[in-house]
Structure 1
Amino acid sequence: MPLDVLVVDMDWHITSLPSMYKDGKKVSDQAGQQAGWTGFTWDKNHFPNPNDFLDWTNRSNIKTCMNLHPASGIHPHEKQYPAMAEVMGIDPATKKYVPFDITNKKFAEALMNLVLHPMLKAGVDFWWLDWQQWGTTKIEGVNPTFYLNYVFFSDMERQNTTRPLIFHRWGGLGNHRYQIGFSGDASIDWESLDYQPYFTATAANVGFGFWSHDIGGHMPMDGSPLKSPELYTRWVQWGAFSPILRTHCTKNPEIERRIWAYPLENFYAMRQAYLMRYALVPYIYTAARQAYDSGISICRPMYYDWPEEENAYTFRNEYMFGNDMLVHPVTHPMKDGKNYAVQKIWLPEGEWTEWYTGTKFSGPQVIERNFAIDEVPVYVRGGAIIPMAPKMNNTEAMPVNPLILTIFPGKSGQTNIYEDEGNNQNFHTGQCAFTDVHFRTTGKRMSIVIEPVKGKYDGMLKSRRYEIRLVNTYPTTSIKVNGKVYAYSKYGKTSSWNYDGANLTTCIYLPEFDRDRKIEIDVVLADADVDKLSGKKGQFKRLADFVASLGPADEPAYEFGTVVRTSQMGLILTQEPQQAAAEIEKFDILWKEVLDIIAGRLQKHSEWMPSLEFLKSSQAIPANNHNK
Structure 2
Amino acid sequence: MKQALFCLLMLISYQTLFAQKIEFYTPRTVRIVKENGTVFNKKSLVVTAEPEKVKVNVTFNDTATIYRSSELTVIVGKNGISFLDNKGNLIMREGSYSFSPIVRGLDKWSYKIKQGFMVDADEGIYGFGILQNGKMSHRGENRRMEQGNTEDYSNFFQSIKGYGVYWDNYSVTYLNSPVEGVAGELTLESQVGDAINYFFMYGGDADGVIAEMRHLSGKVPMAPLWTYGFHQSRERYSSQAELLEVVDKYRELKIPFDGIVQDWQYWGHSYLWNAMEFLASGYPNPQEMMDRIHNQNAHLSISFWSSFGIGTKGFREFQEKNHLLDFETFPPSGLDGWPPRDDYPSGSRCYDAYSEEARDIYWRNLSRLHRLNIDGWWMDSTEPDFYNYDDSDLDVPTAMGSLRSVRNIYPLMSVEGVYNHQREIDTTKRVFIFTRSYFAGQQRTGANTWSGDITSTWDSFRKQIPGCLNFTLTANPNVHSDIGGFLAGCYNINGWNSAKDNPQFKELYVRWMQCGAFMPMMRSHGTDAQREIYLYGKPGEPVYEAMVDAVKLRYRFLPYIYSQAWQVSQYNDSFMRALFMDFKDDKSTWNNNKQFMFGHNILVCPVLHPLYTEEEIVKSPEIYDLKVNWEEDRTYEVYLPKGVQWYDYWTNEKYSGGTTVNASAPISHSPLYVKAGSILTLGPAVQYANENNFDNIEIVVYPGADADFTLYEDEGNNYNYEKGMYSTINLHWNDRSKSLTIGKRNGSFPGMLKSRTFIVKIAGSDAVKEIRYTGKATTVR
Question: One fold, TM greater than 0.5?
Answer: yes
Change in 2 beyond 3 A, CA 1:145/1:413:
closer
> 1:76 is matched with which residue: 311, 317, 329?
311
Cα deviation, 1:328-358, whole Å, max 9, x if unaligned, reads: 1111001699751422323322121011122
Tell me what 1:389 maps to. Answer: 683
Question: SS where residue 590 of structure 2 aligns?
Answer: helix
Distance in 1 between residues matched to 2:636 and 2:316, nearest whole Å: 62
Do 1:335 and 1:341's aligned partners in 2 also have CA atoms closer than 8 Å?
Answer: no
Change in 2 beyond 3 A, CA 1:89/1:248:
closer
Cα displacement (A) at 1:463: 1.7
Do 1:189 and 1:221's aligned partners in 2 also have CA atoms closer than 8 Å?
Answer: no
User: What one-letter code is carried by the residue in structure 2 that aligns with 1:139?
Assistant: M
Do 2:507 and 2:612's aligned partners in 1 also have CA atoms closer than 8 Å?
Answer: no
Distance in 1 between residues matched to 2:688 and 2:544, nearest whole Å: 19
1:441-590 pair list within 5 angstroms: 441-442=735-736, 446-473=738-765, 505-511=766-772, 513-515=773-775, 517-522=776-781
> 1:63 is matched with which residue: 288, 296, 299?
299
Cα deviation, 1:22-73, whole Å, max 9, x if unaligned, reads: xxxxxxxxxxxx6454332213422221011011122222221110023126
Distance in 2 between residues matched to 1:224 and 1:82, nearest whole Å: 41
Higher share in helix: 1
Tell me what 1:145 maps to. Answer: 411
Change in 2 beyond 3 A, CA 1:304/1:89:
closer
Do 1:326 and 1:380's aligned partners in 2 also have CA atoms closer than 8 Å?
Answer: yes
Alpha-carbon RMSD:
2.8
Do 1:85 and 1:98's aligned partners in 2 also have CA atoms closer than 8 Å?
Answer: no
Tell me what 2:159 maps to. Answer: none
Question: SS where residue 10 of structure 1 aligns?
Answer: coil
Bigger mean CA deviation after superposition, 240-249 or 124-133: 124-133
Tell me what 2:372 maps to. Answer: 122
Change in 2 beyond 3 A, CA 1:99/1:348:
closer
1:244-259 pair list within 5 angstroms: 244-250=521-527, 252=528, 254-259=529-534
Cα displacement (A) at 1:391: 1.0
Cα displacement (A) at 1:441: 4.5
Tell me what 2:85 maps to. Answer: none
Do 2:272 and 2:311's aligned partners in 1 also have CA atoms closer than 8 Å?
Answer: no
Question: SS where residue 423 of structure 2 aligns?
Answer: helix
Question: Is residue 2:560 matched to residue 1:299?
Answer: no
Distance in 2 between residues matched to 1:339 and 1:363, nearest whole Å: 24
1:234-249 pair list within 5 angstroms: 234-249=511-526
User: What one-letter code is carried by the residue in structure 2 that aligns with 1:146?
Assistant: L
Distance in 1 between residues matched to 2:350 and 2:576, nearest whole Å: 40
Cα deviation, 1:482-502, whole Å, max 9, x if unaligned, reads: xxxxxxxxxxxxxxxxxxxxx
User: What one-letter code is carried by the residue in structure 2 that aligns with 1:469?
Assistant: K
Cα deviation, 1:269-326, whole Å, max 9, x if unaligned, reads: 1111111101101111111221223333111111112223221124221111101111
Do 2:555 and 2:685's aligned partners in 1 also have CA atoms closer than 8 Å?
Answer: yes
Question: SS where residue 42 of structure 1 aligns?
Answer: coil
Change in 2 beyond 3 A, CA 1:211/1:395:
same
> 1:13 is matched with which residue: 267, 285, 296?
267
Change in 2 beyond 3 A, CA 1:377/1:350:
same
Question: SS where residue 67 of structure 1 aligns?
Answer: strand
Question: Is residue 2:449 matched to residue 1:213?
Answer: no
Tell me what 2:597 maps to. Answer: 320
Do 1:8 and 1:64's aligned partners in 2 also have CA atoms closer than 8 Å?
Answer: yes
Cα displacement (A) at 1:99: 7.1
Unaligned runs of 5+ in 2: 1-254, 325-346, 386-393, 494-498, 614-627
Cα deviation, 1:586-606, whole Å, max 9, x if unaligned, reads: xxxxxxxxxxxxxxxxxxxxx
Cα displacement (A) at 1:368: 2.4
Question: Is residue 2:544 matched to residue 1:267?
Answer: yes
Tell me what 1:42 maps to. Answer: 278
Cα displacement (A) at 1:239: 0.2
Do 1:13 and 1:39's aligned partners in 2 also have CA atoms closer than 8 Å?
Answer: yes
Do 2:381 and 2:437's aligned partners in 1 also have CA atoms closer than 8 Å?
Answer: no
Do 1:315 and 1:346's aligned partners in 2 also have CA atoms closer than 8 Å?
Answer: no
Cα deviation, 1:2-30, whole Å, max 9, x if unaligned, reads: 1111121003221x2xxxxxxxxxxxxxx
Distance in 2 between residues matched to 1:165 and 1:153, nearest whole Å: 8
Distance in 2 between residues matched to 1:164 and 1:256, nearest whole Å: 26
Cα displacement (A) at 1:186: 1.4
Question: SS where residue 767 of structure 2 aligns?
Answer: strand
Distance in 1 between residues matched to 2:431 and 2:654, nearest whole Å: 42
Distance in 2 between residues matched to 1:13 and 1:64, nearest whole Å: 16
Tell me what 1:229 maps to. Answer: 506
Cα displacement (A) at 1:153: 1.1
1:136-215 pair list within 5 angstroms: 137-140=398-401, 141-142=405-406, 143-159=409-425, 160-178=427-445, 179-215=447-483
Question: SS where residue 381 of structure 2 aligns?
Answer: coil
Question: SS where residue 639 of structure 2 aligns?
Answer: strand
Do 1:69 and 1:131's aligned partners in 2 also have CA atoms closer than 8 Å?
Answer: yes
Cα deviation, 1:64-101, whole Å, max 9, x if unaligned, reads: 1110023126x4355x88888889999xxxxx999733
Distance in 2 between residues matched to 1:37 and 1:411, nearest whole Å: 58
Tell me what 2:25 maps to. Answer: none
1:426-441 pair list within 5 angstroms: 426-441=720-735
Question: Is residue 2:262 matched to residue 1:52?
Answer: no
Do 2:318 and 2:351's aligned partners in 1 also have CA atoms closer than 8 Å?
Answer: no
Question: SS where residue 643 of structure 2 aligns?
Answer: strand
Change in 2 beyond 3 A, CA 1:260/1:453:
farther
Tell me what 2:715 maps to. Answer: 421
Do 2:477 and 2:574's aligned partners in 1 also have CA atoms closer than 8 Å?
Answer: yes
Change in 2 beyond 3 A, CA 1:99/1:371:
closer
Distance in 1 between residues matched to 2:257 and 2:685, nearest whole Å: 12
How much identity, in percent, do the aligned residues show?
Answer: 23
Tell me what 1:402 maps to. Answer: 696
Do 1:88 and 1:98's aligned partners in 2 also have CA atoms closer than 8 Å?
Answer: no
> 2:656 is matched with which residue: 349, 352, 362?
362
Change in 2 beyond 3 A, CA 1:453/1:447:
same
Distance in 2 between residues matched to 1:258 and 1:292, nearest whole Å: 32
Distance in 1 between residues matched to 2:748 and 2:669, nearest whole Å: 38
User: What one-letter code is carried by the residue in structure 2 that aligns with 1:391?
Assistant: A
Cα displacement (A) at 1:266: 1.0
Question: SS where residue 206 of structure 1 aligns?
Answer: coil
User: What one-letter code is carried by the residue in structure 1 that aligns with 2:546?
Assistant: A
Distance in 1 between residues matched to 2:475 and 2:566, nearest whole Å: 14
Number of equivalent positions: 460
Change in 2 beyond 3 A, CA 1:99/1:274:
closer
Do 2:577 and 2:598's aligned partners in 1 also have CA atoms closer than 8 Å?
Answer: yes
Distance in 2 between residues matched to 1:152 and 1:312, nearest whole Å: 39
Question: SS where residue 368 of structure 1 aligns?
Answer: strand
Tell me what 1:569 maps to. Answer: none
Change in 2 beyond 3 A, CA 1:196/1:45:
same
Bigger mean CA deviation after superposition, 127-136 or 282-291: 127-136
Post-superposition, which runs of at least 4 consecutive aligned residues in structure 1 deviate over 6 A? Answer: 80-90, 96-99
Where relative contact order (Cα < 8 A, 6+ residues apart) is larger, the structure is: 2
Distance in 2 between residues matched to 1:39 and 1:128, nearest whole Å: 14
Tell me what 1:108 maps to. Answer: 359
Distance in 1 between residues matched to 2:297 and 2:443, nearest whole Å: 27
> 2:634 is matched with which residue: 340, 359, 365?
340
Distance in 2 between residues matched to 1:506 and 1:63, nearest whole Å: 39
Question: Is residue 2:587 matched to residue 1:310?
Answer: yes
Do 2:664 and 2:671's aligned partners in 1 also have CA atoms closer than 8 Å?
Answer: no
